């Protein structure tokens, strides 16, 4: 029991402590947030004086921007928010700068990646083929955590274009054999000019066919000869000849034997080994996929090496949008759900993903929808299509009821992605025992599965394609050259 005197003494001590702590807190606040900083006072600390932006980029590339600034006192440049316009749509790109500057003039680099989508309230478009106008940039800077946002008005157009076609043979060296061919000229455009009337010439070069799809020859009319590429031989007799070389393995020799005993003064043969880098922009509808598997981005990076090797094709994830699917295990139902979810989220013109073969205008620059779910579904994956080939969307699942509910091993995810992406370009399912092993050759029964596991030929462990499937995919790629629909 305490008496009044003790209580009074106790109250005095508590009051004193309280006063000291208030003074201490005030002192601390004063040091952390000096009273001199207010938004008006730091308005002039940082001013954007100009913006340099590339006028043309290839689809899939980042857009590089240089922001010129003038700084009058130490200031932290937090971020820039770019407003882009494509027809009537305006979308935003948020770029983190996070750099501190002292007094002076500086150039600050910002990078804009192909997915233009700032928030769910925003209007999406991918930075894909077409023209865009950078209309303004809001920039936010701070001094001692007091932030100021200013706007820089600008009107600058950026064109996004597909990569050009080029001739891989330009860098190749032809070996000419036969007598009397000293005056043969090999031009940098792949044209060989033989002198005429001196017999039979053989031109040979070695080329790596990967990522090239066609070999085209243009040769004078009336010329006869033989073209040999790997194990394919073809009679040539003037005009244009095209050989699909997509399925020819790796390094090969191209040999042309031509009869130069003609009346013309010289014979020009142009050989074009056509290739073009292709980039397709992928939007991922992500149903908790990352719970058990590496990110879709990581897996696609792994798969890219195979598509790049054969087709010069790169998939680029521009958005990874979370969805929560609680419907049935039927993959077609998941497709319907994701098409609408993505359509609403990105405010696509039809309120849903436009599915058909090829790049669709309704998807506002995104090319492929990939749905990845951690759930065990009816199958490991699916692509819907018609007799011509697959539509521009695919699904991958964490397990398959069709395979007795067996879960996908994380290290098999790249093989599954490759399998489903191949369906998009028309490669069909193949079957163990009927077809040779490949990423498309599935084991349907337990017996086939055991056989494949023992032989190391399980499709979920392979990254190879059969030559005929490479050929099909090379042909179907044309649907992804331009927007359709
Ligand atoms: Zn399949």
CATH 2.60.120 intervals, the chain: 166-275
In the predicted model, what is the mean pLDDT of the chain? Answer: 89
3-state secondary structure the chain: CCCHHHHHHHHHHHHHHHHHHHHHHHHHHHHHCCCCCCHHHHHHHEEEEEEEECCEEECCCCEEEEEEEEECCCEEEEEEEEEEEECCEEEEEEEEEEEEECCEEEEEEEEECCEECCCCCCCCEECCCEEEEEEEEEEEEEECCEEEEEEEEEEEEEEEECCCCEEHHHHCCCEEECCCCCCCEECCCCEEEEECCCCEEEEEEEEECCCCCEEEEEECCCCCEEEEECCEEEEECCEEEEEECCCCCCEEEEEEEEECCCCCCEEEEEEEEEECCEEEEEEEEEEEHHHCCCCHHHHHHHHHHHHHHHHCEEEEEEEEEECCCCCCCCHHHHHHHHHHHHHHHCCCCCCCCCCCCCEEHHHCCCCEEEEEEEEEECCCEECCEECCEECCEEEEEEEEHHHCCEECCHHHHHHHHHHHHHHHCCCCCEEECCECCCCCEECCCHHHHHHHHHHCCCHHHCCCCCHHHHHHHHHHHHHHCCEEC
Ligand 1 center to 417 CA (angstroms):
10
CATH 2.70.50.60 intervals, the chain: 39-161
Q: What confidence score (pLDDT) does residue 231 get?
A: 79
Ligand 1 center to 366 CA (angstroms):
23
Ligand 1 center to 428 CA (angstroms):
7
198-219: per-residue pLDDT in tens? 788 888 988 888 888 888 888 8
Q: Is it the case that residue 290 has pLDDT exceeding 50?
A: yes
Q: What confidence score (pLDDT) does residue 191 get?
A: 84
**How large is the average pLDDT for residues 217-246?**
84
What's the length of the chain?
A: 485
Q: What confidence score (pLDDT) does residue 36 get?
A: 62
CATH of domain 39-161: 2.70.50.60
If one compares 41 and 325, the residue with the highest pLDDT of the two is 325
CATH 1.10.10.10 assigned to domain 278-427+465-484? The reply is no
Ligand 1 center to 305 CA (angstroms):
20
Token pair recorded at residue 60: 């899939």
9-23: per-residue pLDDT in tens? 444 444 444 444 444
Q: Is it the case that residue 26 has pLDDT exceeding 60?
A: no
If one compares 275 and 170, the residue with the highest pLDDT of the two is 275
Lowest mean pLDDT among 60-64, 171-175, 269-273, 402-406: 171-175
Q: What confidence score (pLDDT) does residue 240 get?
A: 84
CATH of domain 166-275: 2.60.120
Compute the distance between CA of residue 96 and CA of residue 33 in angstroms, rounded to an integer. 24
Ligand 1 center to 245 CA (angstroms):
25
Name the percent of the chain lying above pLDDT 70.
Answer: 93
Query: Which residues lie near ion ligand 1 (Cβ < 5 Å)?
Result: 429
Lowest mean pLDDT among 115-124, 140-149, 200-209, 370-379: 115-124
Ligand 1 center to 214 CA (angstroms):
27
The pLDDT confidence band at residue 239, using thresholds 50, 70 and 90, is confident
Ligand 1 center to 382 CA (angstroms):
6
**How large is the average pLDDT for residues 54-73?**
97
Ligand 1 center to 147 CA (angstroms):
53
Compute the distance between CA of residue 351 and CA of residue 314 in angstroms, rounded to an integer. 27
pTM for this model (two decimals): 0.86
343-365: per-residue pLDDT in tens? 999 999 889 999 999 999 999 99
**How large is the average pLDDT for residues 42-61?**
96
Q: What confidence score (pLDDT) does residue 7 get?
A: 43
CATH 3.40.390.10 intervals, the chain: 278-427+465-484
Q: What confidence score (pLDDT) does residue 1 get?
A: 37
The pLDDT confidence band at residue 69, using thresholds 50, 70 and 90, is very high
Q: What confidence score (pLDDT) does residue 122 get?
A: 81
Q: What confidence score (pLDDT) does residue 9 get?
A: 44
Q: What confidence score (pLDDT) does residue 369 get?
A: 98
Q: What confidence score (pLDDT) does residue 19 get?
A: 46
Q: What confidence score (pLDDT) does residue 269 get?
A: 87
Ligand 1 center to 288 CA (angstroms):
22
Q: Is it the case that residue 35 has pLDDT exceeding 70?
A: no
Q: Is it the case that residue 400 has pLDDT exceeding 70?
A: yes
The pLDDT confidence band at residue 175, using thresholds 50, 70 and 90, is confident
């Amino acid at each position: 029991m305490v008496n009044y005197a003790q209580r009074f003494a106790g109250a005095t001590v508590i009051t004193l402590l309280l006063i000291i702590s208030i003074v201490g807190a005030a002192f601390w606040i004063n040091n952390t947030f000096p009273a001199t900083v207010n938004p008006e006072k730091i308005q002039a600390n940082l001013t954007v004086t100009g913006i340099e932006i590339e006028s043309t980029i290839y689809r899939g590339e980042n857009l590089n921007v240089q922001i010129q600034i003038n700084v009058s006192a130490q200031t932290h440049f937090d971020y820039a928010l770019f407003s882009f316009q494509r027809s009537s749509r305006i979308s935003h790109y948020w770029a983190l700068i996070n750099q501190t500057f002292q007094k002076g003039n500086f150039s600050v680099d910002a990078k804009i990646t192909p997915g233009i989508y700032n928030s769910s309230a925003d209007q999406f478009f991918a930075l894909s083929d077409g023209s865009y106008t950078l209309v303004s940039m809001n920039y936010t800077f701070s001094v001692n955590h007091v932030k100021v946002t200013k706007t820089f008005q600008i009107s600058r157009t950026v064109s996004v274009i597909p990569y050009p076609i080029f001739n891989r043979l330009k860098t190749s060296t032809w070996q000419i054999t036969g007598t009397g061919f000293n005056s043969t000229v090999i031009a940098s455009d792949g044209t060989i000019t033989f002198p005429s009337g001196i017999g039979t010439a053989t031109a040979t070069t070695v080329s790596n066919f990967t990522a090239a799809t066609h070999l085209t020859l243009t040769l004078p009319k009336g010329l006869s000869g033989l073209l040999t590429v790997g194990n394919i031989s073809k009679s040539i007799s003037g005009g244009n000849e095209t050989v699909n070389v997509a399925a020819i393995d790796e390094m090969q020799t191209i040999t042309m034997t031509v009869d130069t005993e003609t009346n013309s003064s010289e014979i020009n043969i142009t050989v074009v080994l056509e290739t073009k880098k292709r980039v397709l922009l992928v939007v991922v509808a992500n149903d908790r996929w990352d719970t058990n598997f590496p990110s879709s981005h990581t897996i696609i990076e792994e798969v890219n090496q195979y598509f790049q090797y054969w087709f010069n094709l790169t998939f680029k994830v521009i958005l990874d949008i979370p969805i929560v699917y609680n419907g049935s295990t039927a993959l077609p139902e998941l497709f319907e759900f994701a098409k609408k979810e993505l359509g609403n989220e990105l405010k696509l013109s039809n309120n849903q993903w436009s599915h058909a073969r090829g790049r669709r205008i309704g998807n506002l620059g995104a090319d492929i929808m990939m749905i990845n779910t951690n759930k065990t579904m009816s199958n490991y994956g699916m692509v819907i299509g018609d007799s011509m080939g697959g539509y521009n969307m695919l699904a991958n699942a964490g397990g398959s009821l069709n395979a007795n509910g067996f879960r996908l091993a994380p290290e098999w995810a790249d093989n599954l992605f490759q399998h489903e992406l191949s369906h998009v370009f028309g490669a069909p399912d193949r079957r163990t025992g009927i077809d040779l092993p490949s990423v498309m050759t599935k084991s349907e029964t337990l017996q086939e599965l055991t056989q494949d596991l023992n032989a190391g030929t399980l499709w979920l462990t392979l990254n190879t394609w059969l030559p005929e499937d490479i050929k099909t995919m090379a042909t179907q790629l044309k649907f992804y050259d331009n927007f359709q629909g």
